[in-house]
Structures are given as structure tokens and as C-alpha cells.
Amino acid sequence: MNRDRHVLSRLAALALLVLAAAPAAPATAYVPAAEVKSSPVLGVPSERRAEEPGERWRRPVPAAELRPFAAPPSPWGAGHRGVDLGPLSLGTDISAPADGEVSFAGIVVDRPVLSIRHGGGYLSSFEPVETVLKVGDAVSAGDEVGTLGAGNAHCELPCLHWGVRLHGEYINPLLLTGDLEPSVLLPLGED
């Protein structure tokens, strides 16, 4: 029993020495929203930062938002990883929201899906979208990339589900179109 206490006290002393010798964490500073885009210190490793899209993206269809983006609380948690736009008619033309290259065109579970890689870490996906495009085909912003197909699991009425990932993390696509502005946290005590 005394031996266990002695070992534990030595381990605790060693842990305190290691913590005392470790360099202090760098201080963080408040960066005004106006400076964030030009700031080299965003708290995100440079390889994870995206380049700003060259031009503002456009909606793939001129329709209302029926169901908003809802980020999941964890990578595998429930959420809505995109926006649903509609109501639409089957066969409605779907346009590329930005320049890119087709990275997937096929069936996922029971519905047709199209994915476009836009560069800078952006990947958008659309469902249900029927297309004649093949992997590797280049598309320009505004090009027709397919039509709304059947197999919609997101809405009561036909709609387009549009999701965007940035370096694998889902983001709200409407942030790219200018329909929404990103949230800016202010320090406590400022209005």
C-alpha cells in the first residue's frame, strides 16, 4: 500500500515537472471581422484553409429554400448537410454553381447523384439529378449539368438537395452565393 502511494506521488511529481517545462500556449487575440480574410492566423492550418471562390457562386436552381442547412453536432450525428431548394418539377434544369469538374455521377442508394469538384477544397453534390456527364467532364458556372430526377427523399414536393463540402467538412452552400453572411463572434461587452 505504501509502495503504491510512493509510486503515485513520484508519477505526480514527474507530471508536474513535465508541465512546468512545457512552453506556454500562445496567447490568442481578437481579430476584427474586416481583417479575417487577410489575416494569416485563422486558427486553421494553412493546408485546411480554402482559397476564396473566384466569383460568387450561384444557386443551381432559382428556387426558394425549403429546408435549411443544419450542421450535425458530431461527424456522424443527425443533421441536414445541405439545403433543399424548391418546390420544383421533375425535369427542371440544374446548373453548375461554379466552375469545376465532375467527380461522381451515378446512383447512391436509390437516387441519382452528381458531384462536382470546384477546386480550393470545395465539392458540391446534388440529388436527385440525372445527368449525361461523366467523371472528368469540365463544367462552367451556369452550365446545365442535369435535370431533377425522381427518388427525392428530402421533401414532400420535388426539390433539389444541394450540399457543399470544404476539405471534407459540410458547410452551408448559401454562404457561397451571398444569400447568407457568416456569423461573427464579438467580445463580451461590445454591442
What's the predicted TM-score (pTM) here?
Answer: 0.67
Query: Mind listing the pLDDT tens digit for each residue in 143-185?
Result: 999 999 987 666 888 999 999 999 999 999 999 998 776 566 6
Mean of pLDDT values over 71-87? 89
In terms of residue numbers, what domain contains 86? 56-177
Question: 122, 153 in Cβ contact below 8 A?
Answer: no
Which class for 78: exposed (0-12), middle (13-18), buried (19 or more C-beta within 10 A)? exposed
Mean of pLDDT values over 85-105? 96
What's the pLDDT at 103? Answer: 98
- Higher per-residue confidence, 2 vs 25: 2
Q: Is residue 94 part of a domain?
A: yes
How many separate domains does the chain show? 1
Q: Is residue 81 part of a domain?
A: yes
Q: Is residue 45 part of a domain?
A: no
- CATH code where residue 95 lies: 2.70.70.10
What's the pLDDT at 180? Answer: 73
62: closest CA among 95, 99, 98, 91? 95
Across 10-24, 68-82, 115-129, least confident range: 10-24
What's the pLDDT at 188? Answer: 72
End-to-end Cα separation, the chain, in angstroms: 59
Q: Is residue 39 part of a domain?
A: no
Q: Which helix (H) or strand (E) holds 107?
A: strand 100-108
111: closest CA among 163, 161, 74? 161
